[in-house]
Amino acid sequence: MFASVRSATLLGVRGSRVDVEVHAGIGLPGFTVVGQPDEVCRESRDRVRAALLSSDLPWPTRRITVNLAPSGDRKSGACLDLAIAVGLLAAQGLLPVEILSQYAFIAELGLDGSLRPVRGATPLVLATIDRQTVVALENLGEASAATITQVFSAKTLFEVVECLSGRTEWRKEVSKKTSTYHSKFLRDLADVQGQPVARQALEISAAGSHHLLLVGPPGAGKTMLAERLVGLLPSLNDEQAISATMIHSSVQTEFLNSGLIRDAPYRAPHHSSSMVAMVGGGTALMRPGEISLASHGVLFLDELGEFAPSVLDALRQPLEQRVVHLARARTSVVMPAEFLLVAATNPCPCGEGTPGACTCDDAARARYLRRFSGPLLDRFDLRVAVSRPNTTDLISPIAGESTSVVAARVAKARSLAFSRFGGTNSMLTRQQLDSAAPLTRKAEELLRKELEAGHLTGRGYHRVRRVARTIADLNGAPQTIDETHLHLALLLRVDFASGLRTREMSF
C-alpha cells in the first residue's frame, strides 16, 4: 500500500516542499527513512511509533519505506513527524488516500500523540500555500497570519484522524494571547538629557536609514541612544512584516502567536559573536544570522572595536547589497539583510576622547584605531562624537522631545523620500542624486572646497549629499539642498581616526 503526504522543511529562512511517500509492503517488519533525512528526522520513527500506539492507532507489522521527496535535498527537523504518521495510517487504509491531496501537515509529534509546535511556521506554511495546512495549536496564530490559505489545527494525532475522516471539526480559532510588551514604547527618547546633536543624528539616521557610528567616552550614553533609535522607525508594512516574521520564526523557540512582527526589530549581539552567528549558516538548516534577524530594523554593535575583525569585514558585502548570500558545499541560500547599522565605540582604549586628556600609550592607541580603518568606517554615513552629558544637561534647561514627536517627523521625511524614488535616501544611486538632491550654487562651492582640501573622498562626497538630502527633508526643504544642510551633514562625519595622523597646520 502506498500514500503520499505533503509537508515542508526549513532551509535558511525559506520553507521547501517535501512529499512524504510511505510504502508498506511485504517483507520482514522494519522501518526505513530515505531521502537524506538528518538525525532528528530519522528519529521520527520512534516518535511516530509511540504517538500512534498512545493514540490507540495501529503500527503496521510490515516492511515500511518512507521516502522524503525530492530525495536529493537534505531534510532537517522534526516538522515531518505528523506527515509521516498520517502517511502510515493512509498506507494501512485507515484514512482515505484521496482526501490527503488537499492537505499539508506541519507538526512534531509527542510520544503521547500530541501535536507539538515547530520552528519556522511562517516559512513552512508559505511553502505549502496551495493546500490547507494542519499545524500545532501553538503555531496556529502565526501560521494563519502569514498565509492566505486555510490553516487548521488539532490538539492530538487522534483528533487529526477524526477530522480527516469528517467525524469532528478542525480547530480554527486563534487563541488570543497578545504579546506582553512592545519594545517600541518601552524606551522613550525623552529620557535622553541634553545631547542635542546626538538626538539629531538619531533622527537623521532613522529618517534616511543612514548607518550611524557613535564615538564617545564611557558613560556618554551611547548605548542608551542606540536603543532609542528603533522606536523612531515606522512600523513594518505587510511585505516587510512577512519577511521579518519568516526570519524570526525560523530561529525562534518561543512562538509568535500574536501574528506578524510589526515593530522594527532590534538586535544587539555581544562583541564575542562569531562570524556564523553574525551572518548565518552553521547547521544544515542554514540558520539566519544577526544581520538577517535585524532586517528592517536596527543592528546595534556596542564596542565596535572589540568585535573580531573578520566578523566586521563580513558585514561589508551585506551592507552594500542588502542581502546575504551564503554558499556551502551542499546548499546555498540568500537571506535578507536590510538593516540599519548602529555602532558605538570609545575614541581610544582609555576612553578619554578630549584632546590632551588621553592617557593611552601611543602603540595601544594606534592599534585600537587601526581596527576601524578604511572600508568599514567609510560605510557609516553619520559619525558623531558624543560627550558625557553630566555638565551639559545641567546647563540645558530643555527637556528632550519624546519618541512619538520625533517619530512623526521621521515618518514624514521618510514618505517624502519614498515618493521620490521609492526608497530611503541612503538608497539613492549616484545617478538619482543629481535629480533628487540638487545643490544650490553656494552648496556646490562648499562641497568643491571640501573635496579640494582633501577632507572628503569620492565616496564621502556622495554620502554627504545623501545625508544632506535627509536633513533638508526633515527641515521642510523638499527641493534643493542649500549650504546650511551641507554644513550639518559635514559636521556629522567626524574623522575620528585622524588623531593618529599629524595634521599639517598652517602658520
Partner 1 sequence: MQSQNSAAKKCLSKDQIAAAALCALPKIGPKRLMTLLKHHDPQTAWAVVQGRAKPNEVVSAMLRVEGLITLLRHRATQDLQDQIEQRCIRSGINITIFGDENYPRVLIADLAPPAVLFYFGDLSALDSRRVGMIGTRSATASGRYLASHIAHDLATNDVCVVSGLARGIDAWAHRGALRALESQEAGRLADRPASQEAGRPVGVVASGLDVVYPRENAQLWQDIAKQGALISESAPGSPPEAFRFPLRNRILAALSEVLVVVESRDTGGSMITVDEAQKRDVTVLAVPGSPRNVASNGTNQLIQQGCLPIIGAQDVLVALGLDNRRAPENFYDPRFRLSASDQQLISEMAGAPFTLDEFVIRSGLTTIDAAVSLGRLEALGWIVENSGWWEVIEVRQPLH
Encoded one letter per residue, x for contact with partner 1 by CB under 8 A and - for no contact, window 116-145 reads: ------------------------------
Given candidates 61, 332, 392, 480, which one binds partner 1 under the rule CB under 8 A? 392
- Give the position of cell 512529499: 19
Q: Please, what is the minimum distance in Å from the beta carbon of residue 502 to partner 1?
A: 6
Closer residue to partner 1 in complex, CB, 152/496: 496
Given candidates 33, 236, 385, 410, which one binds partner 1 under the rule CB under 8 A? 385
Q: Which stretch binds partner 1 (CB under 8 A): 15-23, 78-86, 294-302, 494-502?
A: 494-502
CB 167 within 8 A of CB 154: no
C-alpha distances (whole Å) from 257 to each of 80, 122, 173, 175, 350 are 21, 11, 12, 8, 46
Residue in 231, 230, 496 with CA at minimum distance from that of residue 340:
230
483 binds partner 1 (CB under 8 A): yes
Residue in 324, 359, 349 with CA at minimum distance from that of residue 339:
324
Q: How many residues bind partner 1 (CB under 8 A)?
A: 51
498 binds partner 1 (CB under 8 A): yes
**Which residues within the stretch 433-472 sit at the binding site for partner 1 (CB under 8 A)?**
446, 449, 471
Encoded one letter per residue, x for contact with partner 1 by CB under 8 A and - for no contact, window 152-191 reads: ----------------------------------------
C-alpha distances (whole Å) from 189 to each of 34, 76, 407 are 56, 44, 10
The strand ranges marked E within 144-195 are 151-154
Given candidates 247, 376, 384, 467, which one binds partner 1 under the rule CB under 8 A? 384
The strand ranges marked E within 161-238 are 212-215
Q: Please, what is the minimum distance in Å from the beta carbon of residue 385 to partner 1?
A: 3
Q: Please, what is the minimum distance in Å from the beta carbon of residue 441 to partner 1?
A: 16
200 binds partner 1 (CB under 8 A): yes
Q: How many CB atoms lie within 10 A of CB 128?
A: 23
Given candidates 224, 337, 406, 488, which one binds partner 1 under the rule CB under 8 A? 488
Q: Are strands 132-136 and 151-154 parallel, antiparallel or unpaired?
A: parallel
Sheet holding 14-25: strands in order across? 30-34, 63-69, 14-25, 2-11, 103-106, 132-136, 151-154
Given candidates 310, 359, 435, 457, which one binds partner 1 under the rule CB under 8 A? 359
Q: Please, what is the minimum distance in Å from the beta carbon of residue 420 to partner 1?
A: 22
- Reduce the DSSP state of residue 3 to 3 states and report it: strand
Residue in 136, 104, 97 with CA at minimum distance from that of residue 16:
104
Q: Please, what is the minimum distance in Å from the beta carbon of residue 110 to partner 1?
A: 58
Q: Please, what is the minimum distance in Å from the beta carbon of residue 134 to partner 1?
A: 57
Q: Please, what is the minimum distance in Å from the beta carbon of residue 358 to partner 1?
A: 5
Given candidates 166, 355, 422, 454, which one binds partner 1 under the rule CB under 8 A? 355
Q: Please, what is the minimum distance in Å from the beta carbon of residue 491 to partner 1?
A: 5
- Written as nine digits, the cell of 112 is 503521547
Closer residue to partner 1 in complex, CB, 146/384: 384
Q: Please, what is the minimum distance in Å from the beta carbon of residue 386 to partner 1?
A: 7
Give the Cα-Cα-Cα angle 140, 110, 49 (nearest 5 degrees): 125
Buried b (16+ CB within 10 A) or exposed e, 344-375: bbbbbbbbbbeeeebebeeeebeebbebbeee
36 binds partner 1 (CB under 8 A): no
Given candidates 4, 205, 249, 387, which one binds partner 1 under the rule CB under 8 A? 387
CB 223 within 8 A of CB 217: no
Q: Which amino acid is at 141?
A: G
424 binds partner 1 (CB under 8 A): no
- Give the position of cell 542554514: 286
Applying CB under 8 A, the residues found at the interface with partner 1 are 194-198, 200, 215, 347, 352-360, 362, 383-387, 389, 391-392, 395-396, 446, 449, 471, 475, 483-485, 487-488, 490-491, 494-499, 501-503, 505-507
